[in-house]
Chains A and B, each alone.
Chain A
Amino acid sequence: MASDAVVHLADLGRPKDRLQFALKMHVYLCILLICVSLASLTVGATGITPWDMAAALLRGEAPEQMASIVLFDIRLPRLFMGIVVGAALAVSGAVMQGLFRNPLADPGIVGVSAGAGLGAILAIVLGGLLPVWLAEATGMYLVPFAAFVGGWGTTILLYAVSTRGGQTSVATMLLAGIALGALAGAVGGLLAYAADDRQLRELTLWGLGSLAGASWTKVTVTVPFILLALGVAMTLGRGLNGLALGEATAAHIGIRVQRMKNTAILTVAAATGAAVAATGGIGFIGIVVPHLLRLATGPDHRALLLNSALLGASILLIADMISRVIIAPAEMPIGIVTAFLGSPVFLWILLRNRGAVGF
C-alpha cells in the first residue's frame, strides 16, 4: 500500500529524505489535481462530457446549446471555484496551525468564519429591511458581500484586541477568538430566533456550503482575490518553520516575527473570507489536509503550503463530484460530504500513528 510507505517515511523522521519526498509530492499532487479536474468536468447529472463535445467539434458539427451551457456555464466555473476554495481553506489551515503552534487551529481561529457566518445571517434575516434601491443594487450578492465584510471585520477587531505596543500575542488572540466566536454565535442565535421559516432554511443551507451557485460573476470576483492571498501565503514557509522554535528563537535567527504574523493573519482572513463568502461554510478541509500532509511528508512548511493547496483543491473537487451525483438530479450540500469523508479518514490515520502528530 502506498499509504503504508507514506506512514513509514513519516515515522523515520529523517529531515532530508522527508523534504525530498515532500518536493516529489508536488508532482504527484499536481497530477492528482489534473486528473480530478478532468473528472470533475466529465461527471454530472446530465451525462454530457467534454469528450463527446470535442468529438462533435472535430466532426465539424456545432456543439449543442445544452452541452455548451452545462460544460462552460455550470461545470467550468464550478471547477475554478472548487480549486481556489479548496486551496484557500487548506493553506489557511496550514498557516494558522503553524502560526499558533496548535494542531487544532483552523482558519476559523482568527474569527473569520464566525464573523462571516454572522454577516450572512444578518443579510439573510435583515436583508428585507433594506431600502428597495439598495436591495436591488446588491441583489443576490448581498449575502456573500455581508459574509466577507463580517469575516474581515471580526479579524481586524480580534487583531486590535490582541496587539499591544506593536506586539501581537497569539495566546490572547486564541482566547479572544473564542470569546468573539461565542458572541457572534449568540447574535446569530438571536437573529435565527427572529427569522421566519424560509430564512431559517436558507441559514441552514448556507451553513452547509455548496459550490452549486458558482457563476462566472462569482468566479471573477473571488478567484483573483484568493489567488493573490495564496501567493502571499506561499512566501510564509520559512518564517513559519522558524516560528516552530518559539517566537524568541525565530527572532534570533533573523525572522521578522511581527511582520510575519501580520502577513499571515491578513492573508488568511482574505482567503477564507472570500472562500466562505462564495460557497458558505465548508468544514474540515482546513484541519484534515495539512495534518495528512504533515504525517506523510513532515512538518517543513516550505513544501507543506503548496502541497496543502494542491491536495485541498483535489479533495474539495472530489467531495463536490460526490455531492452532485450521489442523489442526482438533486444535490447534497458539500459540507456534509467533506465531513463524512474527512472524519473517518482522519481518525484512522490518527489511530495508526498515535503520537506521531507533529508540526
Chain B
Amino acid sequence: MMFARQRKSLLCLFAMCLGLLPVKTVSAETTDSKIMSLGISVTETVYALNQQHRLVGRDTSSTYPPDVLEVKDVGYIRALAPEGVLSVAPDLIIAEEGAGPRETLDILKDASVEYVEVPNEPTASGIVEQILIVGRALGVEGDAQALADDVAARLADAIAAADAQPQNRKRVLFVLSTRGGKITAGGAGTSADGIIAMAGGVNAIGDVEGWKQLADEAVAVAAPDVILMMDRGGDHGIDNEGLFNMPSIMTTPAAQSKSVIRMNPQLLLGFGPRTPDAVEKLSEALYDPAS
C-alpha cells in the first residue's frame, strides 16, 4: 500500500512537471517515439508506466484514465482502417491480441510502423507478462519490472485476503446483458470467470464455456447467491427491481437476498494494472458489503 501511495504522488509530481515545462521533458533515447495503444489493458499499462505523453492514438475501448479521451480514437480494435492509423503517425503500435484486420497490419508493416502484440490472459501471470511486454516495447524495462512486481504482490495479497475470508464461497453469476428478457452470462474461460475466482467467488455457471445466453431454467438451476453486473448504461441499466423480477432470476437466492454488485467494466474485466483493486473491491462487495 505504501508503495502505491508513493507511486501516486510521483505521478502527480510528474503531471505537474509536464504542465510547467510543456515541451522539453522528452528524453534523448528511444523513449520519445510516438505510440498508439490498442486495448484497455495496454492503455492502462502505458499510463501506469508514465509514458502517456507519447500516446498519439488509442482504440475506442481505451477510456481509462479519463485523460486518454483527449487522445485520438482510431476506431474498433478489430476493424482498424490503415489510413486512419497512419494519419496519427505512430512509430510504434502496442496492441492487445486480436487487433486487426490482417490487411491493415500488412500495410502498417510496409509503412515500417513497429508492431508489438500483447497477450491478454485473464490470470495473474498473464497480467505480469502483459506489463513486461509493454514495458519492453516502450523501452522502460526497469519501471515495468517494478510495476509488474508491485501489481503481482498486491494481486497475490488481494487473492489471499479473498481466500482467507471465513464465510462459505458465494456463487456469482456475471450478467453481461439482460436484453429482451434473456440473460447473457460469462461461463468458464471468460474474463468474468477469472475475476470471480480471484475474488474468492464461485462462478455459478462454471460448467458452461464462454459467453452464453442462458435459458431461464438454467439460471434458476445455477442458483447464484449474487448477481454481478457492469455499471454502465444502455441495456445493462436495468434497475434492481426489474432485475429481481425477471422470471429467471426471481427464484434464485440472489433475488431473495436482493444481492447485486455493479462494477465498472474496464476495472472489472480489463486485466491490467488495476486488477488488484478490482479483486479487492469485488471481494469486499461479496463478503463484507457493510464496509
Of the candidates A70, A202, A212, A328, which one forms a contact with B104 in the assembled complex, judged by CB atoms under 8 Å apart?
A212
Could you say which of B80-88, B151-159, B226-234, B272-280 contacts chain A? Answer: B80-88
B47 sits at the interface (CB 8 A): no
Which residues of B sit under 8 angstroms from A74, Cβ to Cβ? 82-83, 86, 107
B213 sits at the interface (CB 8 A): yes
Of the candidates A65, A197, A331, which one forms a contact with B81 in the assembled complex, judged by CB atoms under 8 Å apart?
A331
B110 sits at the interface (CB 8 A): yes
Whether the Cβ atoms of B110 and A73 lie closer than 8 Å is yes
User: Known contacts A45-B83, A201-B78, A329-B74; can you find 13 more A-B pairs with CB under 8 A?
Assistant: A45-B86, A45-B87, A65-B111, A65-B112, A69-B107, A69-B111, A210-B79, A212-B82, A213-B103, A218-B103, A329-B73, A330-B60, A330-B74
A193 sits at the interface (CB 8 A): yes
Whole-angstrom distance from the CB of B68 to the nearest CB of chain A?
Answer: 15
Contact pattern, B 85-129, Cβ under 8 Å of A = 1, otherwise 0: 111110000000010011110110011100000000000000000
Q: A212-B81, A327-B75, A331-B75 are in contact. Are A47 and B107 (CB under 8 A)?
A: no
B206 sits at the interface (CB 8 A): no
A291 sits at the interface (CB 8 A): no
B287 sits at the interface (CB 8 A): no
Whether the Cβ atoms of B57 and A329 lie closer than 8 Å is yes
A198 sits at the interface (CB 8 A): yes
Q: What would be 5 A-B contacts, judged by CB atoms less than 8 Å apart?
A: A205-B79, A212-B79, A328-B87, A329-B72, A330-B76
Q: Which residue of B lies closest to A210 (CB)?
A: B79
A268–B101 CA distance with the chains assembled, in angstroms: 28
Question: Which residues of B are interface residues toward A (Cβ below 8 A)?
Answer: 57, 60, 72-76, 78-79, 81-89, 98, 101-104, 106-107, 110-112, 190, 210-211, 213
A324 sits at the interface (CB 8 A): yes
A196–B110 CA distance with the chains assembled, in angstroms: 32
Question: Which residues of A are interface residues toward B (Cβ below 8 A)?
Answer: 44-47, 65-66, 69-70, 73-75, 139-140, 193, 196-198, 201-202, 205, 210, 212-215, 218, 324, 327-331, 333
Which residues of A sit under 8 angstroms from B98, Cβ to Cβ? 198
